[in-house]
Amino acid sequence: MDVPSRLGLTVEEFASLEDHLKRRTYEGTSYRFLPDYRSSLEKGTVIFEDTIIRGFPKIPRTLVLETGIPRHFDERLVAEEKLNGYNVRIARVEGDMFAFTRSGLICPFTTYVVEQMLELDAFFDDHPAVILCGEMIGPENPYTAHHYPEVASLAFRAFDIRDRSSGEPYPVKERRGWCDDHDIPQTAYLGEFDLDTATDRLPSIIDELEREQREGVVLRDPDGSSPLKYTTSSANQGDLAFAYSLPFDYGQAFTFRRLIREAFQSHEWDEEGDERRERAQALGEAILLSMTDTIETVDDGERVGEQHTVRSDPEAIDRLLDHFVEQGLTIDIESDRHENGQRVVTFTKRVQRTNDKIDAYLDGTIVDI
């Protein structure tokens, strides 16, 4: 079958997408991928010579659990923990294992790391035509670092198994069973509920995640379809703090949506007086304190950027740094050392706008905002 029909598209539909596909070669294997959202195909879809790996779908969100759940689900739903890290899809294509990041790029570092961590060969021997989807989490993370007490450096947690050509998910029970069979660690299972029980129980589940500064939940139909997400206030505020530490690079796009989430949560939780004020204060601090820290850093003559630490075999780190260079990122190495045979590198991804604008404003540039 030709590529358009394998994607379920007409020749014309595929032709209108082709300009948006990018081409890369990874260790001699050539592939195309779709790095942005387009209506007819999932972002992150990858096209190899004979194989298609579907992109991971965008998960919609509800702002109000009590009304969003009955609107979205038919009868029953499964709740699992939503983890804060980076999305990875793992697939075996003609004998080679690849780990793809969200946009569909093969990440050489992640590919190396997951092959070390997981028994992937045995898994794909049993399930050759699937994509194993999960989150890479932990503090030593080249893309999205977040502290989890159970993860010292970087770990994989599966949350989905999908058919690689159709993108259809497998039922939750089946997926969890397959992962168990192969000792693949998974995101926490929080229960299966009917709709009334779900709306009753979820606030306390969220509350508990909130206290542990964890991100939230993803709810699904037990057949694996219709995912829906809901996040804790600590996740919303953590995102804001990050975005406002680099306000001119990330701040604006992040802000409105996250403020809205906080407002609806405060309403649904029936917060009163002091409680609501505490949220308001924490929200203000997440925004303002991150910005003032950044302004002060720049005023001291230092540059700001996205700092990350990674720890792995020297070879994996080399591959990661090369990968960043290939993507046109500028990386400043802050420290580079060896510990127990592994290389530990702290680096900063340089951002331009925040540094330039803050410099200019500190210098008295007159603005019309």
**Residues 111 to 150 in contact with ligand ATP, rule: CB under 6 A:** 135
Verify binding: residue 229, ligand ATP, rule CB under 6 A: yes
Output b/e per residue, 319-332; b: 16+ Cβ within 10 A.
bbbebeeeeeeebe
Among 87, 141, 234, 312, binds ligand ATP (CB under 6 A): 87
The reply to whether 56 sits near ligand ATP by the rule CB under 6 A is yes
| Complex with ligand ATP: residue 82 or 176, whichever CB lies closer | 82
Give the pair of three-digit tokens for residue 169.
Answer: 């998910």
CB nearer to ligand ATP: give 80 or 306.
Answer: 80
CB of 98 or CB of 321, closer to ligand ATP: 98
Please report the DSSP string for 41-82 in residue order: B-TT-EE-SS-EEPPPPPPPB-S-HHHHHHHH-SSEEEEEEE
What are the angstrom distances between the C-alpha of 244 and each of 140, 240, 298, 312?
22, 6, 14, 30
Over the window 184 to 203, marking each residue x when it contacts ligand ATP by CB under 6 A and - when it does not, the resulting string is: ---x----------------
Which of 82, 146, 182, 319 touches ligand ATP by CB under 6 A?
82
Closer residue to ligand ATP (CB): 227 or 251: 227
Least gap, CB of 218 to ligand ATP (angstroms):
4
306: part of which helix (H) or strand (E)? Answer: strand 305-312
- Complex with ligand ATP: residue 92 or 176, whichever CB lies closer: 176
Position 58 contacts ligand ATP (CB under 6 A) = yes
| CB burial readout 292-305, b (16+ within 10 A) else e | eebbeebeeeeebb
3-state secondary structure of 130: strand
Residue 312, interface with ligand ATP (CB under 6 A)?
A: no
Q: Which is nearer to ligand ATP, 56 or 250 (CB)?
A: 56
Check residue 247 and report its DSSP letter: I
CA dist 167 → 15, 55, 248, 250, 288 (Å): 21, 7, 36, 30, 41
Q: Does 257 bind ligand ATP (CB under 6 A)?
A: no
Binding region for ligand ATP (CB under 6 A) out of 81-89, 194-202, 273-281, 355-363:
81-89
Does residue 59 bind ligand ATP (CB under 6 A)? yes
Residue 140 CA to residue 231 CA, distance in Å, equals 23
Residue 125 in contact with residue 296, Cβ under 8 Å?
no
- Our CB check for ligand ATP shows the closer of 35 and 203 to be 35
- Rule CB under 6 A: say whether 261 interacts with ligand ATP: no
| Site residues, ligand ATP (CB under 6 A) | 56, 58-59, 80-83, 87, 102, 135, 159-160, 187, 218, 227, 229
